[in-house]
């Protein structure tokens, strides 16, 4: 998978923001150029429905492609990092993630990214609505966002519309108490001894959900 595909998967461009960032019309797309005078390069980023980038050698002429080599080290690794940093900044400023449907699920994902440095990992082809969040150090899951038909959570309901949930790990001694509260359900598709499902439909305030996520993160 290319650097661009990895960074922009499930993100949607906002062309007004791209223009504000400095992208200019170019044929049937938009282009942005970031000079790297200290290296003798420039990064050229083009958007024509998809983001594509390249690094041009302004001294020797032509395209510099060595930075794309996996495991590149030394000088090439430094250039690669500058390319990644620029694309990441463009993504964060000019794109919106479309991983999740509900506004609260998107706010939760933003909290995880900004506060815990976590990005959603879509690991199951059969379950494209499910994303895991893992600690970077131990690679253990601390949260799982997915979409499930409401009646599968609330057995008194016949509502077959999907609602997004987040599974978080909690102190097993508190499970019974927490499940008595609105918005909490026995963990869907995970062990119910120490995990619960939290509905992401604004039944609960963001702050309470954020606290549960941090508790789950810290427990691993």
Q: What is the pLDDT of residue 157?
A: 81
**pLDDT tens per residue, range 208-219:** 999 999 999 999
Q: What is the pLDDT of residue 75?
A: 85
Please report the sign of the dihedral spanned by the C-alpha atoms of residue 155, residue 156, residue 158, residue 164.
negative
Residue matched to tokens 């290319």: 2
CA pair distance 95, 174, nearest whole angstrom? 39
pLDDT score of 196 more than 90: yes
Paired tokens of 163 = 């609602």
| Domains in the chain, CATH or no CATH each | 3-96 (no CATH), 103-218 (3.90.1150.30)
Q: What is the pLDDT of residue 144?
A: 97
**pLDDT tens per residue, range 59-69:** 888 999 989 88
Q: What is the pLDDT of residue 154?
A: 85
Residue partners of 159: CB distance under 8 A and separation at least 6:
149, 150, 151
**pLDDT tens per residue, range 144-157:** 999 999 999 988 88
Residue partners of 179: CB distance under 8 A and separation at least 6:
185, 186, 196
pLDDT score of 141 more than 80: yes
Q: Is 92 within 8 Å of 109 (Cβ atoms)?
A: no
Q: Please give the C-alpha separations between residue 3 and each of 69, 150, 171, in angstroms, as whole numbers.
A: 11, 37, 39
Answer whether 0.85 is exceeded by the pTM. Answer: no
Could you tell me the pLDDT band of residue 25, with boundaries at 50, 70 and 90? very high
């Amino acid at each position: 998978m290319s650097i661009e595909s990895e960074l922009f998967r499930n993100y949607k461009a906002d062309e007004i923001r791209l223009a504000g960032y400095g992208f200019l019309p170019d044929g049937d797309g938009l282009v942005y150029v970031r000079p790297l005078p200290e290296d003798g390069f420039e990064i050229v980023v083009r958007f024509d429905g998809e983001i594509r980038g390249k690094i041009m050698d302004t001294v020797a002429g032509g395209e510099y492609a060595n930075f794309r080599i996996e495991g590149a080290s030394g000088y090439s690794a430094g250039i690669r990092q500058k390319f990644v940093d620029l694309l990441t900044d463009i993504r964060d400023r000019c794109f919106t993630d479309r991983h999740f449907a509900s506004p609260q699920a998107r706010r939760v994902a933003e909290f995880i990214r900004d506060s815990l440095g976590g990005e959603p990992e879509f690991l199951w082809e059969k379950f494209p609505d499910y994303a895991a969040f893992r600690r970077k150090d131990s690679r253990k899951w601390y949260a799982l966002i997915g979409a499930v038909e409401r009646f599968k959570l609330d057995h008194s309901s016949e509502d077959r519309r999907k609602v997004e949930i987040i599974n978080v790990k909690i102190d097993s001694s508190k499970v019974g108490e927490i499940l008595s509260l609105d918005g909490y359900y026995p963990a869907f598709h995970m062990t119910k001894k120490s995990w619960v499902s939290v509905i992401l439909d604004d039944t609960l305030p963001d702050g309470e959900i954020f606290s549960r996520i941090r508790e789950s993160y810290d427990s691993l």
